[in-house]
Amino acid sequence: MNILSYLDSKGINYKLASGGLEATFPCPVCGKTNKFYVNTETGAFICFRGSCDTHGGLKDLINLLGDKETEIDIKVSEKPREIQEPEPIDSETIEEYHRILLERYSSFKEYFEGKRGYTIETVKQFKLGWGNGAVLIPIFDEKGNCVNFKHKPDPTRPNPAKGMYSITGRGRNRLFNIAALMGEQKPQEVIIAEGEWDCMRLTQEGYIAVSATVGTGNFKPEWIPLFQGVSKIYICQDNDENQAGQNGAKRIAKMFLDQKITTYIVNLPNPKKGIEEKVDVTDFFVRLGKTKEYFDLLLQTAQPFVEEEKEEDGKRLVDYLCELAIGAGIIVFLDQSEEPYLILPEQPLVAYPIYGGKLRGWLSSLYMEVSGKSFSGDTYKEVADYLYAKAVHEGKTLKLWNRVAMIDDVVYYDLGDGRKAVKIDKTGWEITHKAPVRFKRFTHQLSQVEPIEGELVEVLEFVNLKNEPDKILYLTYLVAGLNPIIPRALLTLFGDQGSAKSTAFRITRSIIDPSNAGTHHPSKAGNLLSPPKDEADLANKTLRHYCLYFDNLSYCPDWMSDAFARIVTGSSYSKRKLYTDTDEITINAMPLLGMNGINLVAEKPDLLDRLLILEMERIPEEVRKTEREFWDSFRKALPRILGGLFTALSRTLELVENLKLGHLPRMADYATFATAAAIALGSSQEEFLSAFNQNIKKQNQSAIDSSAVAQVILQFMEDKNEWEGSSSQLHKDLLKLAEDSNLKIGGSSGFPKASNWLWKKIQIVRPNLNNFGIKAEHGEDKASSTIKLTKFSKDRENTSDTSSIAILDTEEDGSIDGSKPNDVADAATLFESEVAGKEVVATIPRLWDESPDN
């Protein structure tokens, strides 16, 4: 009997399609009506329901219907019967349908241009037409003859039909746009799309694309020779929530692989779970608004298709590799941002992203060791997916740190080999293999040398700082740099060319967080970064660096200034959660930030308040050294410098818990910790506070110098004790002074052109004016807004006076166990020997203390 007789014997109520070549009836597996097709001559079958995807040959069909192939005798044509092709559709008919569509194009413009993203040129190129209540897509054969029309029922009607159909009896399964493969010169690249609409959209974007007219499941093996000579074949099917498109892509790729042709599968973005059923090419460009450059990236990252690999015992290789990894001691978990990470048994202190390259290299080596074989990228992806699922299922969460961690007043410094860290607490420091923390590791980060006993002050031999206050500020910055839980000042170096600004930063980076990122240099571990291009670039660097040092900044635009100010005190960045389109995770970062340049480029007061400003002088030629000589000397000294840094940090941790500042400046936590560091390094509180206040003076002066409004107000109040009037009158008076002084008018740093902007500009520099003895107030009367400027007495020469430093818990006569309060030159010794455990208050006089408002 033949196929149809067999179906009759089973009592199956089928319908014939494609001129009798196919029989369709409800799927025996999923029960879906009108989705199950059987070839009436060969017995090959397929269910087009994506979640089912049942398919196979005649023997599989017999088994599926409950029989054994050995008991059923079905005669199958070795060669399908020849189908008499009908006459081609004449060109006049095609042009007539096309003409009608163009005449009515205004009715279809929203559909073609809005829903499909087509240009009128694409409509004309593919001769789209209108007839019989449907949009018509001409289907041409390899000879260029039109052999069928694909019908899209009127898409402009309310609730239009979703499907499409072809003219019965004309062979509905064709290769759309087959002409692209028929030339003597084969294209370099071809994309096999899913459906005519996507094929046309890809063509509009400049790609060569083809598609099967009956869907991804009916791509014919006999079409494959047409692709001979094509350098690269991509398969881009719909990304369906039920995996139908993905399965179809693999089925097509397997056909090519059977003929020893490699294809590359393109993965479109995932559909939103519960909201979208799929994402296709049209969705990609239109609904998601993606660009050709983005699609090019998908092509570049497309992976070659390989068959699923199995072990010799039949076990899936993926399952075997998962067992191998878990058995070797791999640990999987989620970090504080719910990102998946793993810890390798050989490097218990460092965590790597599950989807990073480290896992693949480690597992490849392990599998090669036990089997002598390798595995494919697709197999690795499935292993990573399993480990991710395991991490989510187990729900284990660990906080990860970048280079430096701090828990319960104990600091752990990552030496970078994955096995050892330096533990620093109040009693000292030691190298340990048992740190209770885990570190992130980025590819640019290098291992650090092992520290030995030494003195931090040795670093000053390699940093071009000339005056003692700047040396104190720099050394305390290094110590505070190893406290990852407080905001640290933004280190700012400026000075002439040849003053070794970049060298100072390279030294600093080599000590705190050695890295090969950025511009390569003989320092090897002190590479610096070029200025960020935009906020996205800055955010990426912020999340990947512990030391974020930018070299040779000549300009600091407003967006960068604002972003730098946020980074100093800790920034949060949002990114899409893995495998989702809508869920976001928040990542917090507070790296050490620094910048250098010939000039001080920061202008906005909010950023200036956070700067540690060190000015450097040009190094005389007679004392210069070659790069090689200089860095060889530094590398020899680095273990001692590092040990000295850890010793200073240990002493600081002991001192800081009892140290409080009487008046808190803007960077209060930093000032407190740095004061303790100065004492730990053997300086007095007076010396540090004097240096710190000089830095505040620099901040205020820079704020004034960067503000045209502040400059003219100081000039305006030179001969006045008080002024009060309308904003418009003050704007008029100050504008004349600004013009006479040739100051910039307009712009972010210039004098405002309009009076309604005057008070907003004054507010920005109000604290800085306060520090120069000018109080500014704003009010409203019936007619207009008013501004009042008041000069108050302020002895700016005494702003760095440290005589108000007070140490509490003293004797009645003002001494500390017999020591007079002014006998504090050896403050560190005094603290350790006499007042351990007592509260110390160090007062940093605020430059605004005498203001009536403060």
For the chain, the structural domain boundaries read 3-71, 91-168, 173-307, 317-398, 456-637, 707-792
Cβ proximity of 612 and 691 under 8 Å: no
Binned at pLDDT 50, 70 and 90, residue 571 comes out as confident
Instruction: Kindly state the average pLDDT of the residues 313-324.
Output: 82
DSSP per-residue codes, 486-517: S---EEEEEESTTS-HHHHHHHHHHHHS-B--
pLDDT of residue 818: 33
pLDDT tens figures, 521-538 = 777 777 788 888 888 888
Instruction: Kindly state the average pLDDT of the residues 568-584.
Output: 59
CATH architecture of 173-307: 3-Layer(aba) Sandwich (3.40)
Return the amino acid letter for 361: G
**CATH top-level class for 91-168?**
alpha beta
Share of the chain above pLDDT 90, in %: 41
Rounded to a whole number of angstroms, the CA Rg of the chain reads: 37
pLDDT of residue 854: 33
pLDDT of residue 82: 53
Q: Are strands 611-616 and 490-495 parallel, antiparallel or unpaired?
A: parallel
pLDDT of residue 822: 34
Binned at pLDDT 50, 70 and 90, residue 137 comes out as very high
pLDDT of residue 557: 85
Instruction: Kindly state the average pLDDT of the residues 398-405.
Output: 96
Share of the chain above pLDDT 70, in %: 85
Q: Against a cut of 0.85, is the pTM above it?
A: no
Distance (Å, rounded) from C-alpha 681 to C-alpha 691? 15
Binned at pLDDT 50, 70 and 90, residue 391 comes out as very high
Please say whether the dihedral angle defined by the alpha carbons of residues 596, 597, 603 and 604, taken in this order, is positive or negative. Answer: negative
Binned at pLDDT 50, 70 and 90, residue 782 comes out as low
| Phi, psi values for residue 249, rounded to 5° | -60, -40
CATH architecture of 456-637: 3-Layer(aba) Sandwich (3.40)
Q: Report helix, strand or coil for 659.
A: strand
Kindly give the interhelix angle for 377-394 and 357-371, rounded to the nearest 10 degrees: 110
Which residues make Cβ contacts (< 8 Å) with residue 174, sequence separation at least 6?
Answer: 139, 141, 147, 148, 212, 213
Residue 705: CB atoms within 10 Å = 14
Distance (Å, rounded) from C-alpha 633 to C-alpha 507? 12
Instruction: Kindly state the average pLDDT of the residues 506-511.
Output: 95
Q: Mean pLDDT score of the chain, rounded to an integer?
A: 83
Q: Which is nearest to 446 in space by CA: 521, 522, 345, 526? A: 526
Q: Report helix, strand or coil for 5.
A: helix
Specify the CATH number for 707-792; select among 3.90.1150, 2.60.120, 3.40.50, 3.30.70.
3.90.1150
Q: Which is nearest to 642 in space by CA: 821, 478, 796? A: 478
By mean pLDDT, which of 268-282, 591-605, 820-834 is the weakest? Answer: 820-834
